[in-house]
Amino acid sequence: MKTIESLYTLLDVPPTCSDDEFRQAYFHALLKHQPDKEHFGIQEKIDKTQEIVLAYTKLQEYRREEHDESDLQSIIDDEEFTTDYSFESRINLDDIAERKSTFRQNWGKFKENPSDTIGALRLINSAFRAGQLNAIEDLLINPILIDSATQLLSFLDEENAGNIYLEWAKFLREKSRSKESFQILEIALPLGLKWPAITEELRTLHYSWAQYVDPTTGIKTTPLVRIKHFNQIIKLGFKYDYIYKFLAEAYFELGDIEQARDHLKQAYLVNPDLAGAIKISRALGFLQTEPSKSDKKSSSQYKWSHPHQVLTATQIYEWAQTENWSALIEYADPNQYSPRILSKARKAFDQIADSLGKYNDPKSAEALIRLISASCYWDVNITAINALSKVGDEKSYNFLAQQTPTNDYGKIHLRICLSYLKARFDKELLSYLATASKDDLLAQAKKNYRGKKYGRTRVILEYLLNIAEPTFSAYYEIKILLALCCAKMSDVNSSIELILPIVSKLPKELRNEISPDLSSWIYNILMSHGYYSIKDGQYQLGLEILLEGSIKTKNPSLILDNLYTITRWLELLGVSDLTQWIRQLIGIEAPGTGYVDAHNRINYIQEVDLSENMKDFLMSFDNQIKIIVAPKLKELI
């Protein structure tokens, strides 16, 4: 028999603790009972960990409601101390079961006759389908089986055989066995399997081989090797400008000037604006004169020309918090950055633009107009247009109306921002806001939201939020609808700022409804601005929402959704081991589903200097994924 008070005791924290103290106590309790810290009492620690997680979940719900001291002795039935969420599954459990069953059957047959080539190939096929590659790695690198790979067509149709050839080649490439990977793919081509995916994988292999640099010596491959592989790329149909340029450079190194000129000429025919070719073009006489020094803009003419001069996320955040707007405006002009560091300032521009959206001043609007005019990057433009719609005037409206986004997303986003900016100065709307009741304003906002008039909706809700007291019956509803409206404008920072202070106070139904969105918004900011420790609390909340959803649900599709999303979070946080562990878990438990990544995505994992607080959190997070979520997924599937 458990009481609310006993659950607090389990976490070693008093009922009067703050939310931060409550969460920290939870992390410390998990770390204390982490199963892999010692080699004895593992099952007891697993059971204890599960008890701690369930206690934390129950207390989270308890703390969101109003209680007096007598409620601490409330008894919690064992049935209450479980989870009760269920959703319709979106994965084919029969298909997953069939893949695993076939693998087990073929494994048994192979063990009975390990010299049977067709039996081994059948096992390889079923291993790919069941996500069990690690179990048969020795077979996948066996030269006899690689030579015999044509026999896959003896029991598979062309489509399925082609998929196996492709996945087998990718596996070998990731294991640094490029020669064997070539061999597998070159088996597929004569069989008529010249699919785009296969030729693209071959192109990748040829390109990486041609451009290989020995990490110990820094020496590139020889010109002859490069020529061989680049010519193979062209034979595959990839007649790109840069391939011809690389061939020109390789022939030039060999002293074959005629071939070098022919290939560079071909590169310019493919793309008259060929990039990165000034040196070879000048060497082969395509550019007769070098620009004079007076024509060049020296680094001294730029205000910022060194990477260390690009603002960090923390510095931008601190300046915005202290309202040091003049400093942010100074750094908001792309024309003051040397071209060699401009790309490094991309995230800084995005964060600066977002911050200037809180400074309602003509100088801010002017800085944002300069940033948009420079058209550095599409994502920076989206953020800057958002910010300008919040602080701009009629001049800003006319400027934005002249913009011509190149894709549908940009056009829709600009249209919403223009409607918001126009609504801010709509005299008829402003007059209505001043006279209508709160209930009428909310009804009007909902009507506009349903009609996808998000700019107008936002203006109404912002006014309503300004006059409504927290005691107003629809106060939380207003905040949630406004947050969703901001998200429609890609202004997710505003969405987060609206929901974060109230998420723990929301009724259960509203909290369950908005939490996935909140996690998604926090992820978008992490992806756009990068990691900085000031936001640790937000990152932890975003991951906790995904974890809590996985613990509570009985739907394997939702668990897989959350685990897949968690891998993307962990990539941005630089957490390699757990990312790959989850990826392998998904591949084994849900083979053949859209949750399985096509490759290991190792290059997507960022280099991040995490705070100690974040490291501690991730250690307990790792523990819960492996001890609670993974067994649950296996059981449900």
Between the alpha carbon of residue 614 and those of residues 194, 518, 609, the distances in Å are 47, 19, 10
pLDDT of residue 87: 36
Spatial distance between the Cα atoms of 13 and 60, rounded to a whole number of angstroms: 13
Q: Do 44 and 137 belong together in one domain?
A: no
Is residue 48 in a domain? yes
Q: What stretches of 255-288 show up as alpha helix (H) in DSSP?
A: 257-270, 278-283
Query: Is the pLDDT confidence value at 44 over 70?
Result: no
CATH number at residue 42: 1.10.287.110
Beta bridge partners of 75: 3
Do 195 and 124 have their domain in common? yes
360: containing domain:
304-425
Whole-number pLDDT of residue 88: 43
Picking from 89, 155, 159, the residue whose alpha carbon sits closest to that of residue 123 is: 155
**Range with the poorest average pLDDT among 36-50, 79-93, 487-501, 613-627:** 79-93
Task: Identify the band that residue 27 occupies on the pLDDT scale cut at 50, 70 and 90.
Answer: confident
- In the numeric block, the tokens 């990544």 are attached to 597
Q: Residue 193: pLDDT band by 50, 70, 90 thresholds?
A: low
The CA-based angle 572-578-582, given to 5 degrees, is: 100
297 against 574, higher pLDDT:
574
- Please give the backbone phi and psi of residue 271, each rounded to the nearest 5 degrees, phi first: -145, 100
359 in a structural domain: yes
Residue 42 shares a structural domain with residue 128: no
Residues 189 and 228 reside in one and the same domain: no
Q: How far apart are CA 391 and CA 368, in angstroms?
A: 10
Q: What is the rounded distance in angstroms from the CA atom of residue 570 to the CA atom of residue 555?
A: 23
The residues pairing with 304 across neighbouring beta strands, listed in sequence order, are 337
User: Is 537 inside any structural domain?
Assistant: no
**Which secondary-structure segment (H or E) carries 3?**
strand 2-3
Rounded CA separation 495/480 (Å): 8
Using CB atoms within 10 Å of the CB of residue 620, give its burial: 0 to 12 exposed, 13 to 18 middle, 19+ buried: buried
How many angstroms separate the Cα of 223 from the Cα of each of 211, 218, 242, 276, 503?
10, 15, 16, 19, 61
Only one residue has tokens 């005791």, namely 9
Residue 243 lies in a domain: yes
**Side chain identity at residue 182, one-letter code:** F
Above 60 in pLDDT, residue 40? no
The whole-number average pLDDT for the span 532-536 is 90
8 A C-beta contact, residue 384 and residue 358: no
**Same domain as 165, residue 234:** no
The answer to whether residue 99 scores a pLDDT higher than 50 is: yes
> Which is nearest to 59 in space by CA: 12, 7, 123?
7
pLDDT given for residue 173 in this prediction: 86
In a domain, 453, yes or no: no
334 lies in some domain: yes
- Rounded to an integer, the average pLDDT of 532-541 is 92
- Domain final residue, candidates 148, 177, 210: 210
The domain tally of the chain equals 4
pLDDT at 162: 87
319 and 411, same domain (yes or no): yes
pLDDT per position as a tens digit, 196-214? 888 888 898 899 889 887 6
- What digits encode the pLDDT tens for the residues 411-456? 999 999 999 999 999 999 999 999 999 999 999 999 999 999 999 9
Where a domain ends, among 425, 447, 470?
A: 425
Place 465 in a pLDDT band, splitting at 50, 70 and 90.
Answer: very high
Is residue 541 classed as helix, strand or coil in its secondary structure?
helix
**Rounded mean pLDDT of the chain?**
86
- What residues have CB less than 8 Å from 192, skipping those under 6 apart? 158
- Residue 178: what pLDDT? 85
Question: H-helix or E-strand containing 534?
Answer: none
Pair 140, 180: CB distance under 8 Å: no
Residue 47 CB burial class (10 angstroms; 0-12, 13-18, ≥19): middle
Q: Among 26-30, 78-82, 128-132, 358-362, which is the least confidently predicted range?
A: 78-82
Those residues with Cβ within 8 angstroms of residue 245's Cβ, 6 or more apart along the chain or in another chain: 263, 264, 267, 274, 276, 277, 280
CB 174 within 8 A of CB 599: yes
Burial class (CB in 10 A: 0-12, 13-18, 19+), 514: buried
Do 118 and 183 reside in the same domain of the chain? yes
The yes-or-no verdict on residue 609 having pLDDT over 50 is yes
Residue 39 has pLDDT above 50, yes or no: no
pLDDT tens column, 346-389: 999 999 999 999 999 999 999 999 999 987 788 899 999 999 99
Percent of the chain with pLDDT over 90: 56
Sequence-distant (6+) residues with CB within 8 A of 175 are 137, 141
Distance, CA of 339 to chain centre: 27
Q: Residues 132, 240: one domain?
A: no
Place 255 in a pLDDT band, splitting at 50, 70 and 90: very high
Please tell me whether residues 71 and 179 are part of one structural domain: no
E-assigned strand segments in 56-119:
75-76
In CATH, what number is assigned to the domain containing residue 238? 1.25.40
Could you tell me which residue, 320 or 194, shows the higher pLDDT?
320
Token reading at 523: 């992820």
- Mean pLDDT value of segment 483-494: 93
Q: Which residues pair with 213 in a beta bridge?
A: 220
43 vs 176: which has the higher pLDDT? 176
Q: What is the largest CA-CA distance in the chain?
A: 92
- Residue reference for tokens 């006279």: 435
Half-sphere exposure (Cβ direction) of 113: Cα atoms closer than 13 Å: 11
Residues contacting residue 169 through CB under 8 Å, at least 6 positions apart = 181, 182, 184, 185, 198, 201, 205
Kindly state whether residues 309 and 420 are assigned to the same domain.
Answer: yes
**CB distance 328 to 350 below 8 Å:** no
Identify the pLDDT of residue 86. Answer: 38
Give yes or no for residue 69 having a pLDDT over 90.
no
407, 425, 443: which is the final residue of a domain? 425
Tell me the residue type at 223.
P
pLDDT at 74: 59
Rounded distance between C-alpha atoms, residue 100 and residue 131, angstroms: 9
Please, which pLDDT band fits residue 292 given cuts at 50, 70 and 90? low
Percent of the chain whose pLDDT exceeds 70: 90
Residues 320, 242, single domain; the answer is: no
Closest to 548 in 3D by CA, of 627, 634, 615, 628? 628
Where is average pLDDT lowest: 185-194, 326-335, 458-467, 608-617? 185-194
- The pLDDT of residue 33 is 65
The answer as to whether 546 is a domain residue is: no
Does residue 187 fall inside a structural domain? yes
If asked whether residues 356 and 412 sit together in one domain, one would say yes
pTM exceeds 0.85, yes or no = no
pLDDT score at 391: 95
